[in-house]
Amino acid sequence: MAATSSTRAAAVDSYSLPWVEKYRPVYLKDVVGNEDTIQRLQVIAQDGNMPNLIISGAPGIGKTTSVLCLAYELLGSAYKEAVLELNASDDRGIDVVRNRIKMFAQKKVTLPPGRHKLIILDEADSMTTGAQQALRRTMEIYSNTTRFALACNISSKIIEPIQSRCAILRYTKLNDKQLTKRLMEICEMEKVSYDTAGISALVFTAEGDMRQAVNNLQSTVSGFSFVNEENVLKVCDQPHPLVVSEMISCCSSGNLAGATDLLHKLWRQGYSAVDIITTLFRVVKLDENIGEAQKLDYAREIGMTHMKILEGVQTLVQLAGLLARLCKSNMPPKVFELK
């Protein structure tokens, strides 16, 4: 998600909307990331020959925004009357398909030549199986007048008959460069004071999610007025990456006592096991001082521990055991030989 001068809130007071809505794009050319997929949508917008679509990918990377931009470019002034947007995580039952969607598909609307009404279903993978079966039939009956765009996180949760009726577009997470550029643009437009480390911290905590990055930026500005690393990490409330990086360095040198002391420090600050293990993985992934083979060993151990934590074993002992295994992987085998 991104925009230049063409934003939905161009005439709205800056305090009336969250920045994530204020700077939501209107046109496809303003959308950040997934360039190849956006080009396909631009061709559809020019030709007007839109198929039914399934757009899948992680949250906050521009799926719904892209569909709304496509609808706006396709329908122009008829946008309000010819587009029905539903969030399927709320309106997920079979009655919604039989009533609201079917009634909208039957409604007569004056459209530009060669255009169709558009029904946008956000979070479509949350729809019940019965609702999806009913939707399949509706897509067939009203194919002459109506097109469907389904946005979802996991396309495999959409039933096969619907998948076969749609063109599937897959979105990937945004890279650090794309996030950084967009955040700096917003800072310039909002006249926000920031430093490079603060923007890097926003990018680090967002993990490719533009929506989260912009929300964290606004929260930091609202709370502290200045965007630097310390303020961003306070707002996001995540373990400090430098402390976690130091912990990993201790493990790499076989210093279990030092790594455990740092772990206890984070634990006393109130961070949960999930917070610590998630930041640990991010830091390992980005650490340039660790070789690829060692990164794979660390990732395997962190992944196994993360799985145990998600299953409910969220204890300090679990994390301490992980640090012990990371230290052991860097120590010579003869240290563990029985004499």
pLDDT digits (tens, 9 = 90+) for 303-312: 999 999 998 8
DSSP for 222-259, written as a single string? HHHSEE-HHHHHHHHT---HHHHHHHHHHHHTT-HHHH
How many whole angstroms separate alpha carbon 199 and alpha carbon 202? 5
**Does the CA dihedral 249-252-255-261 come out positive or negative?**
positive
DSSP for 99-110, written as a single string? IIIHHHHH----
Mean pLDDT, residues 252-279:
90
Cβ neighbours of 125 (radius 10 Å) = 20
How many whole angstroms separate alpha carbon 87 and alpha carbon 75? 21
- State how beta strands 226-227 and 167-170 pair: unpaired
pLDDT digits (tens, 9 = 90+) for 36-67: 999 999 998 888 888 999 999 999 898 989 99
Domain locations in the chain? 34-170, 176-236, 241-335
The pLDDT score that the predictor gives to residue 178 is 92
Domain 34-170: CATH superfamily is: P-loop containing nucleotide triphosphate hydrolases (3.40.50.300)
Model confidence, pTM: 0.80
Check pLDDT > 80 for residue 148: yes
In the structure, how many helices (H) and strands (E) does the chain have? 17, 7
How many whole angstroms separate alpha carbon 81 and alpha carbon 71? 11
At the topology level, CATH places domain 176-236 in: Helicase, Ruva Protein; domain 3 (1.10.8)
CATH value of 241-335 in 1.20.272.10, 3.40.50.150, 1.20.1070.10, 1.10.287.90: 1.20.272.10
Helix, coil or strand: residue 83? strand
pLDDT digits (tens, 9 = 90+) for 200-240: 999 988 888 999 999 999 999 988 889 998 889 888 888 88
The pLDDT score that the predictor gives to residue 15 is 52
Give Cβ neighbours of residue 52 (< 8 Å, ≥ 6 apart).
139, 147, 148, 149, 150, 165, 166, 167
The pLDDT score that the predictor gives to residue 13 is 47
119: β partners? 84, 148
Considering the chain, what is the average pLDDT of its residues?
86
